[in-house]
Amino acid sequence: DHNNPYFEFEAKVVETEQKKSRDKPGRPPKEWDPYETVFQIAASVQRDAAAIAHRKKRASCFVVVTSLDDAEEWPAERVLREYKEQQAVERRFPVLKDPKRVGPVYLDRPERVEALGYVLLMALLVYSLIERRAREALKDADEPMDLAGGPTSFRPTGRRVLERFENVLVMQTDGKRELPDNDNLPKRVLELLDLSIAAYGIESKV
């Protein structure tokens, strides 16, 4: 007996005769029978194709509960795709939950905590858009983006993109923001992001 519903087992005992070997040299005695009876188990295993196909069909069923009741606008394929793609958004939230980022923040009123939460979400949105825009631009680029420290990448993370701007120095003189004429400005990164020095509130360079 077996409990596996997906395979069929068959076994039977087979009786065979095989020649015996003698431990002692010389002529065997008259009553010596050179053959002995041996019992062996012959087994076979067959896949139950119908049972396996039925189980595969059941395992392929994925249940998604949604409040979107417009079947024409939200067919099952679209609902499932939206469900699977939500991880692209959710995987960003650990950035906000990092103890090194939120640990030093102290607010004494609930409305300030709520306001800070919205500010952080907007910052996270900008962070994600920077990463997406850089990667989309690099899809058609011939050369990868130079990252801080020397490596290059066609799919930089938002953090690696922002690292290119850490050494950019902005000067403010008489209320006017200016950018010194140096090599720290990552011009190609700005081009990939479809931005200009105006993003720094600057109209000219000195």
Compute the C-alpha angle 98/92/143, nearest 5°.
115
Q: The whole model's pTM is what?
A: 0.56
Interatomic CA distance for residues 178 and 5, integer angstroms: 76
Quote the pLDDT of residue 206. Answer: 45
Domain locations along the chain: 7-21+29-59, 105-200
Quote the pLDDT of residue 130. Answer: 93
1-5, 54-58, 95-99, 160-164: segment of lowest average pLDDT: 1-5
Q: 176-191: per-residue pLDDT in tens?
A: 888 777 657 788 999 9
If 0-12 CB within 10 Å is exposed, 13-18 middle and 19+ buried, where does residue 161 land?
buried
